[in-house]
């Protein structure tokens, strides 16, 4: 989380690229927590054989840093990750109470939103920023 907060506050104006080991650890942790449902994925428009699934990290150690994120998979397994890191506050009740408090606090910090990304994804300009 500290790396992501540093990226946000210091306005590096570029994507944050996950390492392969960080991506694999995230996927493995989400799998152990029962958060991966690749049978619920939807095809990525204009990218044959690539599917996307939104992962809710609630109840895991990643929740306050990630919240919701998108994983991409194909016939070989999970191959990509994308998340717009932006402290976007939601209506009360959408997140846990403390998750929303943390997000609203974060949105008061001076910083620049950025994309956290890894591996095989659709073209970055087509990834929703929400």
Whole-number pLDDT of residue 109: 81
Which of 75, 63, 74 minimizes the C-alpha distance to 29? Answer: 63
Query: Can you list the residues of the chain whose pLDDT is less than 70?
Result: 1-2, 12-13, 38-39, 130
For the chain, what is the domain count?
1
pLDDT tens figures, 70-106: 999 999 999 999 988 887 878 898 878 887 888 888 8
Q: What global pTM score does this model have?
A: 0.82
d(CA 88, CA 97): 14
3-state SS assignment for residue 124: helix
Range of the domain at 16: 2-126
d(CA 73, CA 53): 8
């Amino acid at each position: 989380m500290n790396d992501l907060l540093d990226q946000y506050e210091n306005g590096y104006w570029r994507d944050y690229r996950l390492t392969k080991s960080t991506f694999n650890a995230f996927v493995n942790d989400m799998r152990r927590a029962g958060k991966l449902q690749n049978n619920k994925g939807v095809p990525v428009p204009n990218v044959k054989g690539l599917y996307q699934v939104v992962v809710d990290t609630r109840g895991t150690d990643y929740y306050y840093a990630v919240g919701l994120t998108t994983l991409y998979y194909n016939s070989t397994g999970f191959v990509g990750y994308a998340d717009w890191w932006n402290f976007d506050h939601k209506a009360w009740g959408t997140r846990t109470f403390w998750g929303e408090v943390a997000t609203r606090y974060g949105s008061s910090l001076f910083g620049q939103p950025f994309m956290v990304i890894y591996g095989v994804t659709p073209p970055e300009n087509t990834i929703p920023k929400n």
